Amino acid sequence: MATIASSTDMGSAQEARPTRTPAFEKRLAKRYRSERTFKFLGQAAIVFSVSVLIFLLGNMLFNGIGGFQRAELAVPIDLPASGVTGDEVSLTAPSAAQTLEMQGLPDVVEFYAVEALGEQGAEQISRDAWRDVADALSADPTLIYRTQTFQLPASSDLAAGLDGEGSPEIQALAKQLAQEGKLGENWDWGFLSRSDATSPQQVGIWGALKGSILTMIVTLLLAFPIGVLAALYLEEYAPKNRWTDLIEVSINNLAAVPSIIFGLLGLAVFLAAFPSFRSAPLIGGMTLALMTMPVIVISGRNAIKAVPPSIRDGALAVGASPIQVVFHHVLPLALPGMLTGTIIGMARALGETAPLLMIGMRAFVATPPDSFTAPATVLPVQIFLWSDEIDRGFVERTSAAIIVLLLFLLLMNGLAIYLRNRFEKTW
């Protein structure tokens, strides 16, 4: 714009030749107008994209906050008078829940619930509420000598009633209990430590999260070494021939193949080879490793390319062998860049859903997986499964799970950016 402005100034200085005719002025105004329109379009595109992002994240956050809470009923239980007994040893034993059930804890809980909430209110305590009491006793055995008010999960009907949904009777009941201070939305930290369940009041994401972690460990252990070694070979040693070209073409293509195709591969090859490991983190991790490896190879090659040749020449000049040059000098210098690429690839794998659906990681898994071969599900698949649930309570839970997933992705990407800024060298 500056150049144009000065040229018109010069034009007006030379009065002899009338460059600034009315027609010219008109054209100029039109050109400036289109310039402004164009710039405005650019701004609009940016504003739209950013506002979609803000809307998306805000929407998830807004819904998700509710997902970290749950409607709970306050029930005071006089445990010393209840006839339930136990000591530190029996209450912290793994079979504590069974022992307590045999001593009639469910009936005790129901009795005090009726006492505190009335018949109608007690019906709205979820059936497994005594388990929460049992868990609290395991965590703190001294509770057995005291009268304690327990916050027990309400049924999902009552929870919906509290949100102003459902039948008028249940809404009235919820309103009444809430006014008496017996029903309220409490922070539900158990959401982070429980697993999948059939009722939105009882679900948690620890099972899916643990599945994700196990799957990611397998992916990392397979994709990182293979990716780094392949990148070193292709960049440093590979002779220029048809085989090398074939490897390069396959890596570039694999990086662009839709992820669902990797799921088909996992189904047809891995599951055919290990049919008993259906929906195991091992198979999921192997499938995702194949998907992540090309990403690591490509970013790794760029990191290796950035190491200046003078380093190699210097090492060769003092008598290092080609392997020593690479493993003593090039690899340490390229490693931060490779790690950045790896973390980004892993973040992509963590958010991936479709290939894992193909290999059966969509089962209902109510206990956290305890090994690489146990049936498991992962966070994104859990989100997908919950989003299919009809119960309204799952909407908030799904958003809460999405927040957890996004937090992990943010953490990983933040780490990648930190590594890039901290270790990146410009030669």
Partner 1 sequence: MSPITLIIIAIGLGLAGWLAGRAKAWSFQKATPDARPVARPIYHAWYVAVWVVIPVLAFVALWSFIAPQLVTQSVLASAGAQELPSFGFERDAWLAEAQAVAKGQAPGVFNDGAQALVEPFREAINRYNWIGVALIVVIAFGGGAFAFVRIRPDFRARTSVERTVMIVLLLASLVAILTTFGIFASLVFETVRFFSMISPGDFLFGTFWSPDPMSNPDNPDGTRYGAIPLFWGTIFIGAIIAMIVAIPLGLMSAIYLTQYANPKLRAWVKPALEILAGVPTVVYGYFAALTVAPAIRDAALALGVTNASTESALAAGIVMGVMIIPFVSSMADDSIAAVPSAMRDGSYAMGATKSETIRRVLFPAALPGIVAGIMLAVSRAIGETMIVVMAASTAANLSANPLERMTTVTVQIVKMLTGEGSFDHPATLSAFALGFVLFLVTLALNFIALRVVKRFREAYE
Applying the rule CB under 8 A, the residues between 82 and 121 that interact with partner 1 are: none
Cβ 21 to partner 1 shortest distance, Å: 16
Instruction: Identify residues 374-403 at the interface with partner 1 (CB under 8 A).
Output: 380-381, 383-384, 387, 395, 398, 402
Query: Which pair of structure tokens corresponds to residue 365?
Result: 């898994």
d(CA 245, CA 297): 15
Nearer to partner 1, 27 or 146 (CB): 27
Answer yes or no whether residue 257 interacts with partner 1 by CB under 8 A: yes
Stretch that binds partner 1, among 133-141, 165-173, 179-187, 347-355 (CB under 8 A): 347-355
Q: Could you tell me if 70 and 158 are in contact, meaning their C-beta atoms sit under 8 angstroms apart? A: no
Q: In the block, which residue shows the tokens 């490779």?
A: 338
d(CA 4, CA 197): 68
Q: Could you tell me if 105 and 134 are in contact, meaning their C-beta atoms sit under 8 angstroms apart? A: yes
Answer yes or no whether residue 129 interacts with partner 1 by CB under 8 A: no
Nearer to partner 1, 96 or 383 (CB): 383
Answer yes or no whether residue 250 interacts with partner 1 by CB under 8 A: yes
Give the one residue of 347, 376, 400, 419 binding partner 1; rule: CB under 8 A: 347
Answer yes or no whether residue 212 interacts with partner 1 by CB under 8 A: no
Instruction: Identify residues 49-78 at the interface with partner 1 (CB under 8 A).
Output: 49-50, 52-53, 56, 59-60
Query: Which pair of structure tokens corresponds to residue 392?
Result: 């309204």
Element (H, E) at 316: helix 309-317
Kindly write out the interface string for residues 280-299 of this chain, putting x where it contacts partner 1 by CB under 8 A and - elsewhere: ----------x--xx--x--
Answer yes or no whether residue 229 interacts with partner 1 by CB under 8 A: yes
Backbone angles phi, psi at 140, to 5 degrees: -140, 90
Stretch that binds partner 1, among 2-10, 18-26, 109-117, 125-133 (CB under 8 A): 2-10
Answer yes or no whether residue 320 interacts with partner 1 by CB under 8 A: no
Instruction: Identify residues 296-315 at the interface with partner 1 (CB under 8 A).
Output: 297
Cβ 374 to partner 1 shortest distance, Å: 10
Answer yes or no whether residue 46 interacts with partner 1 by CB under 8 A: yes
Give the one residue of 269, 366, 407, 411 binding partner 1; rule: CB under 8 A: 269
Give the one residue of 93, 192, 268, 411 binding partner 1; rule: CB under 8 A: 268
Answer yes or no whether residue 156 interacts with partner 1 by CB under 8 A: no
d(CA 397, CA 62): 12
Nearer to partner 1, 24 or 189 (CB): 24
Rg (CA), the chain: 31
Nearer to partner 1, 46 or 81 (CB): 46
Nearer to partner 1, 81 or 229 (CB): 229
Give the one residue of 74, 114, 254, 316 binding partner 1; rule: CB under 8 A: 254
Query: Would strands 69-78 and 147-153 be described as parallel, antiparallel, or unpaired?
Result: antiparallel
Nearer to partner 1, 34 or 310 (CB): 34
Cβ 387 to partner 1 shortest distance, Å: 5
Distances (CA, A) of 64 to 67, 185, 212, 301, 402: 5, 14, 20, 40, 8
Element (H, E) at 291: helix 281-305
Backbone angles phi, psi at 74, to 5 degrees: -85, 120
Query: Which pair of structure tokens corresponds to residue 95?
Result: 């079979």
Give the one residue of 14, 98, 193, 253 binding partner 1; rule: CB under 8 A: 253
Quickly count: other Cβ atoms within 10 Å of residue 303's Cβ: 24
Stretch that binds partner 1, among 102-110, 184-192, 204-212, 246-254 (CB under 8 A): 246-254
d(CA 41, CA 386): 39
Number of residues near partner 1 (by CB under 8 A): 83
Cβ 378 to partner 1 shortest distance, Å: 10
Answer yes or no whether residue 321 interacts with partner 1 by CB under 8 A: yes
Cβ 167 to partner 1 shortest distance, Å: 23
Sheet holding 183-187, edge to edge: 147-153, 69-78, 183-187
Answer yes or no whether residue 404 interacts with partner 1 by CB under 8 A: no
Q: Taking Cα atoms as reference points, which of 297, 192, 306, 202 lies closest to residue 255?
A: 297
Contacting residues for 377 by C-beta, under 8 A, at least 6 apart: 196, 207, 208, 211, 279, 361, 362, 363, 365, 385
Q: Taking Cα atoms as reference points, which of 106, 111, 101, 123 lies closest to residue 78?
A: 111
Q: What is the DSSP letter of 104?
A: T
Stretch that binds partner 1, among 12-20, 78-86, 195-203, 349-357 (CB under 8 A): 349-357
Contacting residues for 392 by C-beta, under 8 A, at least 6 apart: 160, 163, 165, 200
For residue 75, list its beta bridge partners: 150
Q: How far apart are the first and last CA of the chain?
A: 36
